[in-house]
């Protein structure tokens, strides 16, 4: 039946007003048009809903039974419409993002704080994961999108460049390498604290050292870059980490190495055949202005 919801709304209005003329005025219809809608609804349901008299309108037994269900139907529909309009206008929603730990602890956190202020109705759920796990979560649709490295990309995933991140040396201020001329060769056989073997940073460091014929002496390793920095602060070694891993706590010197092969490209990873929700798309717009 066409326009069933309009007819249901007409019936509810007549039941509430108890008068066809007043109900017709509320609905901006003529009394005759309203009468037609009620009759069509009754024909569709196969029962009489209203008892009519020149001065009075009353619900039949079937009408009294149907009224609560019809009122709930319209309320549910109204809630669905309001929720959908809120999503379309990016006033509400949930966005789940998987990102590299170095970004989660640095530039991304600042960006998310700004986003929360401008979009208080959108909940952002952040998953800090290594590069390979990010790709898995995106591919399995467990997250809306990821922020990772291009080198670990797999089938069915798309990569959009977002920023470039350089590996830097982090040492204590009293370490000999904290000042003076610095090259990658100076790190040959130095006691290094590295991230875990499933880390994209660890893989990049191992590749660079191997290509240069340098000895990589790992004395300790930790899963999180914040832990690596804490170990360096306590004099247990030195480390190479992305500049985005700098937590700003001080007590460490961050030094750039003017050598090729130490830069990595980070970007947004999405499913190739899927589009982002309005809320996820708006968050992505915010991330486009991320600065390290």
Question: Tens of pLDDT along 33-79?
Answer: 888 888 888 888 888 888 876 667 888 888 788 888 888 877 776 66
Q: Output the pLDDT for position 292.
A: 43
Contacts of residue 41, defined as CB under 8 A and 6 or more positions apart, other chains included, come to: 1, 4, 7, 8, 10, 11, 49
Among 70, 23, 31, CA closest to 49:
70
Domains of the chain: 4-88 (1.10.10.10), 93-292 (3.40.190.290)
What six digits make up the tokens of 70?
């019809």
Give the integer Cα–Cα distance in Å for 245 and 292. Answer: 10
Q: What average pLDDT does the chain have?
A: 84
Instruction: Answer whether 49's CB lies under 8 Å from 60's CB.
Output: yes
Kindly state the average pLDDT of the residues 3-7. Answer: 75
87 has a pLDDT exceeding 60: no
236 — pLDDT class (breaks 50, 70, 90): very high
pLDDT digits (tens, 9 = 90+) for 117-165: 888 888 899 998 888 889 889 999 999 999 988 876 767 899 988 888 8
φ and ψ of 152, to 5 deg: -100, 15
pLDDT digits (tens, 9 = 90+) for 168-204: 999 999 999 999 999 999 999 999 999 988 888 898 8
Q: pLDDT at position 25, please?
A: 85
State the pLDDT confidence band at 89, using cuts at 50, 70 and 90.
very low
pLDDT of 90 over the 70 cut = no
- Residue 116 CA: distances (Å) to CA of 147, 185, 268: 18, 44, 20
157 touches 135 (CB < 8 A): yes
CA angle 257, 261, 265 (to 5 degrees): 105
Contact predicate 257/263, CB 8 Å: no
């Amino acid at each position: 039946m066409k326009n069933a919801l309009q007819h249901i709304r007409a019936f509810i209005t007549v039941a509430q007003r108890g008068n066809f003329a007043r109900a017709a005025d509320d609905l901006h219809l003529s009394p005759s048009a309203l009468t037609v809608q009620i009759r069509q609804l009754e024909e569709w349901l196969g029962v009489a809903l209203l008892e009519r008299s020149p001065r009075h309108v009353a619900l039949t037994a079937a009408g009294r039974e149907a009224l609560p269900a019809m009122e709930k139907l319209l309320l549910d529909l109204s809630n669905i419409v309001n929720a959908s309009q809120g999503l379309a206008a990016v006033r509400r929603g949930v966005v789940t993002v998987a990102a590299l730990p170095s970004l989660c602890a640095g530039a991304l956190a600042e960006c998310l704080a700004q986003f929360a202020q401008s979009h208080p109705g959108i909940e952002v759920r952040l998953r800090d994961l290594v590069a390979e796990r990010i790709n898995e979560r995106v591919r399995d649709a467990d997250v809306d999108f990821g922020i990772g490295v291009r080198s670990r990309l797999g089938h069915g995933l798309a990569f959009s460049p977002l920023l470039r991140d350089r590996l830097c040396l982090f040492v204590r201020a009293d370490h000999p390498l904290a000042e003076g001329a610095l090259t990658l060769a100076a790190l040959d056989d130095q006691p290094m604290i590295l991230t875990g073997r499933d880390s994209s940073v660890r893989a990049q460091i191992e590749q660079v050292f191997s290509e240069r014929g340098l000895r990589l002496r790992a004395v300790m390793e930790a899963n999180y870059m914040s832990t690596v920095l804490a170990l360096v602060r306590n004099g247990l070694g030195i480390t190479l980490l992305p500049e985005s891993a700098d937590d700003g706590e001080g007590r460490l010197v961050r030094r750039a190495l003017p050598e090729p092969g130490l830069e990595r490209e980070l970007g947004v990873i999405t499913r190739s055949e899927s589009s982002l929700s309005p809320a996820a798309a708006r968050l992505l717009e915010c991330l486009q202005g991320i600065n390290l």
